[in-house]
């Protein structure tokens, strides 16, 4: 099994498209209610779908990994994006920065490298 795509709700697809293109995603479909993107690396896609309401509070968090985390955050801040969390090392061995998209969906830009799939506390195949 492989992860094909993730879709998040968008109250304004046009503003969401602008936001995700700023992050570096390449738009591959365009409709008034929907847009899909390719990521710069890998085969997964990401999309936004028009909705009238986005649930407030804790929900899903979308993680985009980049080895250029600190540089990318500075570039995005220069383009006017606001981060709720600046890049910081976390106890789970990832470096993360956080921001919200125009609809309030939480986005985490991070770098984990080898620790993403192989942290020191990874369970053995026999345990899974």
pLDDT digits (tens, 9 = 90+) for 81-123: 999 999 999 999 999 999 999 999 999 999 999 999 999 999 9
pTM: 0.91
DSSP bridge partners of 99 = 107
pLDDT of the residue at 54: 76
pLDDT of 55 over the 80 cut = no
Structural domains in the chain? Answer: 5-52+60-116 (3.10.180.10)
Q: What angle do CA 87, 4, 100 make, to 5 degrees?
A: 30
The alpha carbon of residue 118 and the mean position of all alpha carbons in its chain are separated, in whole angstroms, by 20
Look at the block and give the residue holding tokens 């969401």. Answer: 16
Q: In terms of C-beta density within 10 A (0-12 exposed, 13-18 middle, 19 or more buried), how is residue 14 classed?
A: middle
């Amino acid at each position: 099994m492989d992860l094909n795509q993730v879709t998040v709700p968008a109250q304004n697809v046009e503003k969401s498209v602008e936001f995700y293109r700023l992050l570096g995603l390449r738009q591959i479909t365009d409709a008034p209610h929907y847009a899909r993107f390719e990521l710069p690396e890998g085969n997964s896609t990401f999309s936004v779908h028009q909705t009238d309401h986005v649930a407030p509070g804790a929900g899903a968090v979308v993680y985009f990994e980049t080895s250029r985390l600190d540089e990318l955050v500075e570039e995005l801040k220069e383009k006017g994006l606001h981060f709720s969390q600046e890049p910081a090392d976390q106890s789970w061995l990832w470096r993360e920065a956080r921001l919200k998209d125009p609809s309030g969906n939480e986005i985490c830009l991070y770098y984990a490298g080898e620790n993403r799939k192989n942290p020191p506390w990874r369970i053995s195949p026999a345990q899974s």
